[in-house]
Homo-oligomer: A and B are copies of this chain.
């Protein structure tokens, strides 16, 4: 496997591109590659190409773009994981894992029990951090698509923007009967709402019902909050044969 680099802007016609910043630094100082070395570059929107290092400076890498290569295929359903922001660095794991699984987008949600606020997230530049984690996870799993990390929103705001496709919400076993995923008709695009450590509040659950959100459940054991998105995506792709 050739090392993989993210290169959002590449001139396919001129067959040239350049790595800068973190990507250049990784090639030059971590992997210590030189002129002629072969790598793969992906544009984050589904394109992946074999490339060779044409020239190096201290901070930048010029590339000759060679032939297109096949990345790991995308799932047959576009899933936006609408994840209540978890405590500490647990959200980092969630972004890493749902990227690996094939999520199309991550919508951070500040819900009642999230123990953070939109202002705090903005001040800490968390969205930029999550974007870097998503790129890093894409490299590991072999995708060429970097999921969109959307600006954090409150639950009501997100539901009010009427996201495309159906919206499912994962509910705790104690919240009563949710459907099994195999009982939900397969969609081309879906929003998947997942709650924080303490679960959804009763008010949030009724907001979701009023917004036409479908409750789904994954068995009767209580899942760790940061494992729930991984488990839900696996069950969804299997139920809908959408891997």
Residues of A within 8 A of B (CB): 72-73, 75, 97, 100-102, 140-143, 173, 180-182, 218-224, 227, 230-232, 234-235, 237-239, 241, 243
Determine the chain B residues whose CB is within 8 A of the CB of A227 once the complex forms: 97, 100, 230
Determine the chain B residues whose CB is within 8 A of the CB of A239 once the complex forms: 238-239
With CB as the reference atom, state the residue of chain B lying closest to A242. Answer: B219
A-B contact pairs, 9 of them (CB 8 A): A100-B222, A100-B227, A102-B219, A143-B221, A181-B238, A227-B230, A230-B230, A234-B234, A235-B237
The residue among A140, A223, A241 with the most chain B CB atoms within 10 A of its own CB is: A223
The residue among A101, A143, A182, A235 with the most chain B CB atoms within 10 A of its own CB is: A235
- Bound-state CA distance A140–B221 (Å) is 9
B97 & A222 in contact (Cβ 8 Å cutoff)? no
- Bound-state CA distance A223–B100 (Å) is 6
Given contacts A181-B238, A231-B230, A234-B231, are A222 and B173 in contact (CB under 8 A)? no
Contact of A221 among B142, B180, B231, B232 (CB under 8 A): B142
A142 & B222 in contact (Cβ 8 Å cutoff)? yes
Contact of A234 among B100, B180, B218 (CB under 8 A): B218
A218 & B230 in contact (Cβ 8 Å cutoff)? no
Contact of A235 among B100, B102, B221, B235 (CB under 8 A): B235
With CB as the reference atom, state the residue of chain B lying closest to A235. Answer: B238
